[in-house]
Chains A and B, each alone.
Chain A
Amino acid sequence: MMGRVGRALVLHEFLERTRDRWVLVISVLFALLASAVSLYGQSADAEFAKLTGPSLVTLVSLFIPLVAMVLSHDAIVGERERNTLGLLLSLPVSRLEVVVAKFVGRALALGVAVVAGLGMVALVSDGAGAGSLAKLAGPTLLLGLSFLSIGMLISACTRRQVAAASAVVITWFALVFFFDLGLLALLVVSDGAISQQVIANLVIANPAGLYRIVMMQAFAGPDVLGDLGMTASLPGPIVVAGIWAAWLLLPSIVSGAILSKARMS
Chain B
Amino acid sequence: MKTLATRGVFVRFGEVDALDDVSIVLEAGQATMLAGPNGAGKTTLLKVLLGLVRPDHGAFEVDGERALVDNDWKRRIGYLPEAVAFSENLSGQQQLRFFARARGVSREHTEAVLERVGLHAARRRAVRGYSRGMRQRLGLAVAILTKPDLLILDEPTAGLDQEGLAVLWSVLEEWREQQRMVLVSTHDLALMERRVDQMCVLQKGRVLAQGSANDLRMAARLPHHVWFEVGDDDARVRLLCEAMEKWGKGRVERGEGIVGVEVAPEAILELMEIQSGFPGTVRGLRVEEPTLDIVYDRLLGVA
Taking beta carbons and an 8 Å cutoff, which residues of A are in contact with B? 4-5, 7-9, 11-12, 15-16, 19-20, 82-84, 86-87, 89-94, 263-265
Contact = CB atoms under 8 A, between A and B. Distances in A.
B62 interface: no
Contacts of A4: 101-104
B72 interface: yes
A8 B102 contact: yes
Interface string B66-104: 000001101101010111111101100010001101111
Nearest to B44: A265
Contacts, number: 79
Given A5-B102, A263-B13, A83 B84 contact: yes
Interface in B16-55: 18, 44, 47, 50-54
Nearest to A89: B52
**Which 7 residue pairs across A and B have the least CB separation, nearest first?**
A92-B71, A8-B101, A19-B89, A8-B102, A264-B52, A92-B74, A12-B98
A170 B193 CA distance: 52
B60 to A, nearest CB: 15
A21 B79 CA distance: 30
Contacts of A15: 90, 94
Contacts of B72: 92
A67 B264 CA distance: 70
A82 B127 CA distance: 13
A16 B90 contact: yes
A16 B90 CA distance: 6
A263 B90 contact: no
B128 to A, nearest CB: 10
B142 interface: yes
B84 A19 contact: no
A265 B18 contact: yes
Contacts of A20: 89
B74 A11 contact: no
A92 B77 CA distance: 10
B90 A90 contact: no
A11 B79 contact: no
Nearest to A17: B89
B50 A91 contact: no
B86 A263 contact: no
Nearest to B77: A90
B53 A91 contact: no
Contact of A86 (B13, B50, B87, B99): B50
A263 B94 CA distance: 29
A92 B85 CA distance: 19
A86 B139 CA distance: 12
Interface size class of B (residues with CB under 8 A): 20 to 34
Among A19, A83, A90, A264, residue most surrounded by chain B Cβ atoms (within 10 Å): A90
22 contacts: A5-B102, A5-B103, A8-B99, A12-B87, A12-B98, A15-B94, A19-B90, A84-B87, A86-B79, A87-B79, A87-B81, A87-B84, A90-B50, A90-B77, A90-B79, A91-B74, A91-B99, A91-B102, A91-B103, A92-B71, A263-B13, A265-B13
A195 B82 CA distance: 59
Given A15-B90, A263-B53, A263-B54, A87 B142 contact: yes
Given A92-B71, A92-B75, A16 B13 contact: no
Nearest to A16: B87
A161 to B, nearest CB: 13
Nearest to A20: B89
A265 B53 contact: yes
A9 B101 CA distance: 9
Contacts of A83: 81-85
Contact of A82 (B13, B75, B85, B89): B85
Given A87-B142, A92-B103, A94-B71, 8 more contacts: A5-B103, A12-B94, A15-B90, A86-B47, A86-B79, A87-B79, A90-B50, A93-B71
A90 B102 CA distance: 11
Contact of B101 (A11, A16, A86): A11
A46 to B, nearest CB: 41
A83 B90 CA distance: 16
A86 B52 contact: yes
A23 B259 CA distance: 72
Contact of B86 (A5, A19, A84, A91): A84
Interface in B86-144: 86-87, 89-90, 94, 98-99, 101-104, 139, 142
A95 to B, nearest CB: 10
Contacts of B101: 4, 7-8, 11
Contacts of A264: 47, 52-53
A19 to B, nearest CB: 4
